[in-house]
Structure 1
């Protein structure tokens, strides 16, 4: 029984050391593989906090705009439906008196109408209210210039064209 006990203790110690070593090695690689986005790195400008409201009632509209803004580093703190739907055009509302931030978001989303409507109770910089006139910035070029079927991979190998466009 003494020999079996020593073998069992040896195997337990070996598995414990292996577990600790494996854990240490796997954790060391995690820090380098997940860098912080540019907007959170030290020394970068303050985040632009945005809320995106679907004012047209089109399903998924606020989510599309949110994805565009987040991909570009904007901090979308809320997205969803507006309190009421209307036919009013899309608008970017500046809530803190910084029209440069509002103009930047308007340019990214293709919304020319920017207004300053300060509201210190919202705890955000901008409100984007999407109207029925808003289209995803990439949709127009992708849908109007492509005659190729979606499955045709030859479009990726044409010189001087993007996958969504065809040479005239």
Structure 2
């Protein structure tokens, strides 16, 4: 009788360990990629132009958490952008407008560059950097 209880308890503990390990190893649950009214998902790059350390990474993580497919994160051509810019890269403003709305940016701009193989570029400026950089 005592051995039976021991084996049952041992089996329970082993099962609990397997369940917890499975949850931990599964990784984060990803949100569905953002799309426009049931359309195709679109790709976004984030360029940090704010001068605030790691702000681009923070913004990219926030966009991913909201379902956007952030495919590239790097520094912008300069670090003195006062305002965040959202650029339409393919001549389809609905994609850039969706990102601009999500960020609370007033408008998006058209700057086609189909060589980039993405739909939207976000250049993070100082206006939003404090929300996403180190210490935020």
Normalising by the residue count of structure 1, what TM-score does the alignment of the two structures yield?
Answer: 0.55
**Shift in alpha-carbon separation, 1:37–1:68, aligned structure 2, 3 A:** closer
Alignment partner, residue 136 of structure 1: 131
Give CA-to-partner distance per residue, 1:55-112, whole Å, 9 cap, x none: 1110121111111110111110011211211244111000011111111101111221
**1:94 maps to 2:55:** no
- 2:79 equivalent to 1:85: yes
- Once residues 100 and 90 of structure 1 are traced to their aligned partners in structure 2, the CA distance between those partners, rounded to angstroms, is 18
Matches within 5 A, 1:5-154: 37-39=31-33, 45-134=39-128, 135-136=130-131
* Higher RCO (CA < 8 A, seq sep 6+): 2
**Distance between the aligned counterparts of 1:45 and 1:127, measured in 2?**
19
Aligned pairs, number: 108
Q: Is the 8 A contact 1:89 1:130 kept in 2?
A: yes
TM-score computed with the length of structure 2 as normaliser: 0.66
Rg comparison, structure with higher value: 1
Name structure 1 gaps, 5 residues minimum: 1-25, 138-142, 144-168
Which structure 1 residue ranges, 4+ long, deviate > 2 Å from structure 2? 33-40
Instruction: Give unpaired runs (5+ residues) of structure 2.
Output: 1-18
Deviation at 1:136, TM superposition (A): 2.8
